[in-house]
Each structure stands twice: as structure tokens, then as C-alpha cells.
Amino acid sequence: MPAKGTDLLMPDKNFQMNIPTTQLKKRKVLLLFFISAFFLNCHSARRMGKSNSDTIGSWYRQEAWLDGLQLKPHESINQDEFYRQYQQNKTWWDEAFHFLKTHDLVKMSPGQYVIDSNNVIATISEVIPKDRAQVKWEAHRVFNDLQYIIQGKAIMGIAAVTSASAVVTTPYDPATDTENFSITGETYYDATPGTFFIFSPFEMHRPAFRAPGYDLIKKIVIKVRVPK
């Protein structure tokens, strides 16, 4: 015989949970509402991402940002990052493109040209290009590199800093704004007069090494500060 009071804890075998039909319907409606809202939000996010991508692509292709500069941006340029930076501080990019547009680069002497102190700095050099094995992979954090071959031909290597095969060989040095890497699965492009490259902090590069048959090149590198 159970102890006094324990019968209050025993389940009633004849007990049934009766939920009114109207309440069940309300719960089903609410469930369907939350499911629909979830999928609608996902769809909207996808559409927004596509819309942003389309907006950036359209803006970039119109090339109004070149302001009449008769040079071609290379296909490897990170359009999303360039758009972000340009919208955040267009002045520095405008100054870089204006410099390219208003100077006869072929006739200019090698040296450093300060376009905007501490923000936009150009360096022109005439060099015997190094062989590929002698040129390290590098990336920068504070400045973008706009690189252009004025005369001759060179080869540019490009890879994502976030690549799974990227290995840091020399840690980042704030004094030089440089970090070195080794990597596999990289891509190489010919660099010739008429087309410029931009390497943002998201792209490591193996810059301007020797192309067969070209033992002297003239190039310009414009350092453009990355907006905070």
C-alpha cells in the first residue's frame, strides 16, 4: 500500500490532454508564419547580396572613377574591395589616377614623387627585372599597391592572402608594411604598358619579375593608403 500522499504523484491512466481545435490551428498558423519568414529572410539576403554585387560591377565597368585616364584596369583587381575603399575615401584614389593621367611617365625621371603626403606616394624606377625565384611573395596592410609597367614587359603573380596554401615566411613588419609568404596554386599575368594592377591587403603579389626577352623595364608603383 503506497505511503500517504504518494497517490497524488501517480499518473492517471485515464487522463488525456485535450487541446482545443482552435488552439491547434493557431499553433499551426504561427509555425507556418515563422517558417515562411525564415525562408523569406534567406531569399532577401541572397537578393541583397546579388543586388550589391550588380551595383558594384556596374559602377566599376562604367569607369567614371578613372576620370578620363586612358589606361585599362587589369581583370585581377578586387572590385569589391576597391569599391569599398573608393566610397570611403575617393580623394586618395582620384589623386593617384590624376597623377597617371597628367604626367608623361615615359619621360619622367626615376625617383619618388609625393602626391599626398603620407597617403599617396609614387615611385618610378628603371630596373633589370629579377628572375621569378628571386622575387618574394608579399602583401601589405597599410597601403595598396597600384603597379604599372611604363616600358617593357614583366610578369605579376597574384594570390589571395586567405588561401589555404598560404604560409607566412616573414612575419608582418610595420616598418616596411610588408609580410612575405610562400604559396601554391597562384596565378600569373603578363604586365605590359596600357594596363595597371591594384593589389589590396587581400592580395599577395609577386611583383614585376622578368619576362623572357625583357632585360630592362620602367615601372611606377603608387602607394595608396587604405582607409580605416
**Does residue 52 sit in the same domain as residue 79?**
no
- Which is nearest to 156 in space by CA: 164, 148, 144? 148
CATH of the domain at 80: 2.60.120.370
Are 83 and 202 in contact by the 8 Å Cβ rule? The answer is no
- Percent of the chain's residues with pLDDT above 70: 78
Query: Average pLDDT in the 123-146 region?
Result: 98
Are 223 and 143 in contact by the 8 Å Cβ rule? The answer is yes
**Does residue 194 sit in the same domain as residue 85?**
yes
Residue span of the structural domain in which 105 resides: 68-225
**Residue 9 placed within a domain:** no
Judged against a pLDDT cut of 90, whether residue 34 lies above it is answered with no
**Does residue 166 sit in the same domain as residue 216?**
yes
pLDDT bucket at 28, cuts 50 / 70 / 90: low
Residue 23: its pLDDT value, please?
64
- Percent of the chain's residues with pLDDT above 90: 76
- Which is nearest to 60 in space by CA: 37, 40, 38, 83? 83
Residue 105: its pLDDT value, please?
98
Of the residues 27, 62, 97, the one at which a domain ends? 62
Residue 5: its pLDDT value, please?
47
**Does residue 114 sit in the same domain as residue 202?**
yes
Hey, what's the cell of 89? 575615401
What is the per-residue burial (b if ≥16 Cβ within 10 Å, else e) of 53-70?
eeebeebbeeeebbeebe
**Does residue 125 sit in the same domain as residue 46?**
no
**Residue 4 placed within a domain:** no
**Per the structure, how many domains does the chain have?**
2
Judged against a pLDDT cut of 80, whether residue 33 lies above it is answered with no
**How does pLDDT run across 102-117, given as a tens digit for each residue?**
999 999 999 999 999 9
Q: Considering the chain, what is the average pLDDT of its residues?
A: 88
**Does residue 74 sit in the same domain as residue 29?**
no
**Does residue 143 sit in the same domain as residue 36?**
no
**Residue 105 placed within a domain:** yes
**Residue 178 placed within a domain:** yes
Of the residues 7, 35, 62, the one at which a domain ends? 62
| Helix, strand or coil, per DSSP, at residue 22 | helix
CA torsion angle for 106, 149, 191, 228 (degrees, to 10)? Answer: -140
**Does residue 159 sit in the same domain as residue 192?**
yes
**Residue 3 placed within a domain:** no
**Does residue 45 sit in the same domain as residue 82?**
no
**Does residue 52 sit in the same domain as residue 105?**
no
Question: What pTM was computed for the model?
Answer: 0.78
**How does pLDDT run across 62-88, given as a tens digit for each residue?**
999 999 999 999 999 999 999 999 999
**Residue 12 placed within a domain:** no
**Residue 7 placed within a domain:** no
**Does residue 87 sit in the same domain as residue 148?**
yes
20, 94, 225 from 198: Cα distances, Å = 67, 14, 12
Of the residues 62, 85, 117, the one at which a domain ends? 62
**How does pLDDT run across 175-205, given as a tens digit for each residue?**
999 999 999 999 999 999 999 999 999 999 9
Query: Average pLDDT in the 216-223 region?
Result: 98
Name the residue with cell 541572397. Answer: 46
**Residue 6 placed within a domain:** no
Residue 6: its pLDDT value, please?
45
**Does residue 52 sit in the same domain as residue 78?**
no
Residue 102: its pLDDT value, please?
98
**How does pLDDT run across 154-176, given as a tens digit for each residue?**
999 999 999 999 999 999 999 99
Judged against a pLDDT cut of 60, whether residue 1 lies above it is answered with no
CB neighbour class for 29 (10 Å; exposed up to 12, middle 13-18, buried from 19): exposed
